[in-house]
Amino acid sequence: MQPNFTVVDLAGMRIFLSNDDGIDALGPDCRERVARRPNDDIWIVAPEKDQSGASHSPSLSEPVRCRSLGKRKFAVQGTPTDSVLMGILDLVSAPRPNLVLSGINRGGATWTIT
């Protein structure tokens, strides 16, 4: 079976980058370099530290804080879910992003359920 690919023109899009490996992980840098080629409207919001395995977990009992690391780049003290929600709902100025890119793990993204 042949893979089905869609080509997307990123020029003019507002792009939001995140991950679960932390703001300093290699993945966001790779995505940023690719996305910046046709575009400069890129927002990066990711957990302050590695949160692998907690991607779908919102913080329920702790306050979620963030700090600015530069123009349109923020580190969130919280889970990957907190990062995306805070980024899209609070940090990114209108309009909201056209595209959210996440992933490119440092290691394998596989789990064993026993």
Tens digit of each residue's pLDDT (9 = 90 or more) over 4-63: 888 888 888 898 988 888 888 855 566 677 767 777 888 999 999 988 766 667 788 889
Domain count for the chain: 1
In the prediction, which pLDDT does 95 show?
92
Is 28 strand, coil or helix? Answer: helix
1 lies in a domain? no
Q: What is the pTM of this model?
A: 0.78
21 lies in a domain?
A: yes
Residue 107: inside a domain, yes or no? no
* 112 falls within a domain: no
Is residue 110 included in any domain, yes or no?
no
Look up the domain containing 31 and give its range. 15-102
Q: Look at residue 112 in the predicted model and tell me its pLDDT.
A: 55
What is residue 51's predicted lDDT score, i.e. its pLDDT?
Answer: 80
Quick check: is 8 in a domain?
Answer: no
Q: Is residue 96 assigned to a domain?
A: yes
Rounded CA separation 51/65 (Å):
15
Q: What is the DSSP letter of 91?
A: I
Higher pLDDT, 82 or 30: 82
Is pLDDT at 1 greater than 60 in this prediction? yes
